[in-house]
């Protein structure tokens, strides 16, 4: 597939030079819908953003590796994500969406294809709290595989789910800085709860999603990301969140890359961008 050059022309070429091995630990592929249909029960229908578009973006930004996170619009059909992983197994890893119908053989196939975790949405506009019976069955199935669970929470969802999260018997990764509203600062109750979870040895947090919790130029998101990296120097990752489904505004990934030097110093960013995701996702 040929990528429309105007797609990249709309994006800033970042001034910040990413280090070798820099990883986009949170991005998506959508469709193309005529090849990989969207789920019948989806809550939104995105514009197609296939693997060729994602690769072109990463090459443009200077990103070496990526973790493709299955999005809810594709449901439990992970075909588009798996197709992307298969296109460059050294460059890509995946996070799947599954349910309790998946067999050991299904999980084996996902693992062989580069999947290292599963994701559950707790966001209200994406359906709210998942079926917790399914949630616990899946956790029980993957906990011995060395996989992790990715939790997509809204800021208001953190406190009500604290006890559930604290009892998880495996590594968990919280998306998008917990989606705590940046305007409410570091003293808000959801952020304090997030920092309480950060004390757990099995907690990781992604400092992606500045565009989820703030508006350009994202100044209010900076202290939140900085505090998370300070609290979790070896268990923090970053991503572009391309192509930003259900976003409140059109985000420029170049601008998001240029936020990184405001988040932390070079040594910390080496861990966040390269070392931490390489360890969690078994990149060479």
Phi, psi for 47 (deg, rounded to 5): -75, 145
Confidence (pLDDT) at 246: 85
Instruction: Flag whether 153 is in a domain.
Output: yes
Cα→Cα distances 241→23, 50, 104, 111, 246, Å: 12, 14, 30, 23, 11
Total domains in the fold of the chain = 1
Give pTM, 2 decimals.
0.96
Range of the domain at 78: 18-281
241 catalytic, yes or no? yes
pLDDT tens, position by position, 154-164: 999 999 999 99
Spatial CA neighbour of 64 closest among 88, 94, 29, 96: 88
Determine, yes or no, domain membership for 227: yes
Q: Is residue 1 part of a domain?
A: no
> What is the tens place of the pLDDT at every residue in 41-77?
898 999 999 999 999 999 999 999 999 999 899 999 9
267 inside domain: yes
Residue-level pLDDT at 43: 86
Q: How far apart are CA 82 and CA 75, in angstroms?
A: 13
In a domain, 32, yes or no: yes
Could you tell me if residue 235 is inside a domain? Answer: yes
Eight-state DSSP code of residue 70? P
CATH of the domain at 152: 3.20.20.140
Residue 85 contacts residue 113 (beta carbons within 8 Å): yes
Choose, from 59, 219, 241, 275, the residue flagged as catalytic: 241
Helix orientation angle between 189-197 and 221-231, rounded to the nearest 10 degrees:
20
Residue 2 maps to a domain:
no
What's the average pLDDT block by block, 10 residues per block, for the chain (284 residues)?
84 97 98 93 91 97 98 94 98 98 97 98 80 97 96 95 97 98 98 98 98 97 98 98 92 98 98 98 93
Q: What is the pLDDT of residue 284?
A: 82
Sequence-separated (6 or more) residues with CB below 8 Å from residue 140: none
């Amino acid at each position: 597939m040929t990528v429309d050059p105007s797609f990249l022309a709309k994006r800033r070429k970042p001034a910040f030079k990413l280090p070798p091995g820099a990883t986009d630990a949170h991005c998506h592929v959508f469709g193309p819908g005529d090849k990989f249909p969207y789920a019948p029960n989806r809550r939104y229908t995105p514009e197609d953003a296939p693997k060729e578009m994602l690769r072109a973006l990463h090459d443009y930004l200077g990103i070496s590796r990526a973790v493709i996170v299955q999005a809810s619009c594709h449901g439990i059909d992970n075909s588009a994500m798996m197709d992307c992983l298969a296109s460059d197994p050294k460059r890509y890893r995946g996070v799947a969406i599954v349910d309790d119908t998946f067999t050991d053989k299904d999980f084996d196939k996902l693992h062989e294809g580069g999947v290292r975790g599963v994701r559950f949405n707790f966001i209200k506009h994406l359906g709210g709290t998942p079926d917790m019976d399914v949630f616990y069955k899946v956790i029980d199935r993957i906990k011995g595989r060395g996989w992790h669970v990715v939790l997509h929470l809204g800021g208001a969802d953190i406190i009500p789910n604290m006890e559930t999260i604290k009892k998880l018997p495996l590594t968990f990764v919280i998306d998008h800085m917990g989606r705590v509203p940046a305007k409410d600062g570091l003293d808000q109750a959801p952020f304090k709860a997030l920092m309480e979870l950060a004390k757990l040895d099995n907690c990781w947090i992604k400092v992606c999603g500045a565009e989820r919790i703030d508006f350009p130029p994202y100044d209010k998101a900076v202290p939140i990301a900085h505090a998370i990296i300070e609290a979790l120097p070896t268990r923090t990752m970053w991503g572009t969140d391309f192509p930003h489904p259900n976003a409140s505004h059109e985000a420029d990934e170049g601008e998001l890359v240029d936020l990184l030097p405001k988040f932390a110093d070079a040594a910390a960013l080496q861990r966040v961008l390269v070392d931490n995701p390489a360890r969690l996702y078994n990149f060479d």
